[in-house]
Structure 1
């Protein structure tokens, strides 16, 4: 009799499953498709997402999408949507349904939360709307703290300008109490994007670590990272910008991908970042708490094009300030160079250096570099001294200096004609188009 009862158990289990009500069918958006890597409880997880399947090496089961809700796009800058899926497992000993919430972060980054098994019982109605927590407005989608980060194994092209753009020197500290902060001038980030360029330079940046003899965790190393995109999210109620990068040489997925975090509200020419050691965002809690802590300072590019070829009027040397209703700059002038700069913690930070290359009358062809920027430009500046304490000036449109030309290869005379000709064509009369400098007290 007992043996007969066990004979009917598989049939009874099939009947119970058949009576469960599951509604809808779904197609997973194509921007989720692909092979993804994540670290979960110390294990390396590979997940393959297709039009209706979620298949990972976490266990022997494969999830098939039964129903899906595509949440409204949270912002105009986002190219993908967050979704909640109702999925059923195939394989394994027990048939389960799962709620899977997926947060689209970038084309290369997803974050997800997978709920517990929802068993199939007779007469028990289950569905996306009934069973999934994210469908309840009180709970909603998971926070960053509740989600696992997935990295696209073969990253798609993303411009680096959303996270790093320009030149930085950085100090770094690895680990907690790991021997101190290393602040070597050779530790630099170079992220020089050429707008509109079809080349890979727009998608990668270089990070060079310089070693400090008294810091045992410091190192000499140059790395090339591919940018995977950035996104904004809250952690512990504070708004942060997260970013992800991929080492272009390291093939070990566990250490290939890195997650970074910075505070959205930072200003000035110094920025704090924290970076993960492994392929996870879980240990980044604040700009002071993370496996690798970085302080980035914008620096001026080193270039031979800032060596002067002419002199400025001797009577304008000294310290000045811009005058007018707009933003104020400090201005320092010597025999050959001009510097426009704000305070380091200014909301709109600027530090620009100009070097005299050719003079004709009141017009000066200048080379210009900006602190934190890679570009080098020619600009034309017209300078008219009104009296000992007042100077009138205007600056023309910049013209980029080709990076492949050396200082000796630049045709200064031809460049002066092309760049300063803008003033001849411009319809500027009287004082229109000019700015005014006022000399600081006791700065002669």
Structure 2
């Protein structure tokens, strides 16, 4: 093996009393040591001859070595003793670096099954892979924050148990609120606010820590007509809290950063979203024009307008269908019943889909339709890998540029759908990955 590596295979060979040739100098007494092998391999030839002619004494010493120094129970006991000694005699570690505390309180409590949920998991995973610093998922525990050890182990299906631990702010901590910051209908609805009342952010500030908050949108404030009044009220309180704890705000788009500045924030940066979906095989696509719409079913998403357009297509005998993906949100009962009963053959409602299911649907679709009246970004625009037909709004222009077909109203959408077979439309380019996002995050964190 290359010098500097450890080798479980070597220990297994020694354990089973197999005469072993190795370049690990620490096993000279129980294996045949060959420090290096030249191009003609004569050193290895000599070692093989020595192994062939040797008795079993070397192998017996190897077994004794394993029993004395590499017994798993003994190794575990030593680790336990070292850990306990370090815990009972704490010392200031001069070499200690930053911890990155990633707030995942919303998906910890209840997975909202939205695009933001995917953003949380993908950014978290990319951070794990992009730094050697401790990245600790945390959740609001009713007073401050605790590590989400058990939650993460369960999500990863690992057969271990590690108790959650109270997070005590320490020098160099970076607190990153990545998840939903306002949790409608939960108690509390603004965990950051309760943590602030209980002194968590005061302790973090005293320790020299930094606070970063991912802002996906300010839609309850910029478009209150699409939300309950309570939602706008909560977001106003949340905005005042962010100013109070001196957070750096990471907007998903230039549009969201502009909204933040309008509300009086100065410490802002744009950190665009990425996609973890790969390209799909075009061979799976059907001859029938198949479109897909992805998003929570609510008034703001404009899904009613899409359904009306496809009802009209069916009436005039046009051969096309729409697949609608997303959990049921705030929508009137009539439209909820319309989708769930599925009485129209060309309008198919799938509900919430896993990433794998969504990837298959993207693979069999010809184009994505995005009809939202406003968004903070519009993740399906870049993750679908499909040509896009989009409502002509500012944020879609920012994300897609000229690589989309835009419509202003349902008449324009109908005209595009009727003539789609005669339209040549390329998907938007997206080479941005979550590793790129993690790299930018670490630069913003200053680590």
TM-score (norm 1): 0.26
TM-score (norm 2): 0.26
More relative contact order in 1 or in 2 (CA 8 Å, sep 6+)? 2
- Whichever structure has more helix as a proportion of its residues is 2
- Whichever structure has more strand as a proportion of its residues is 1
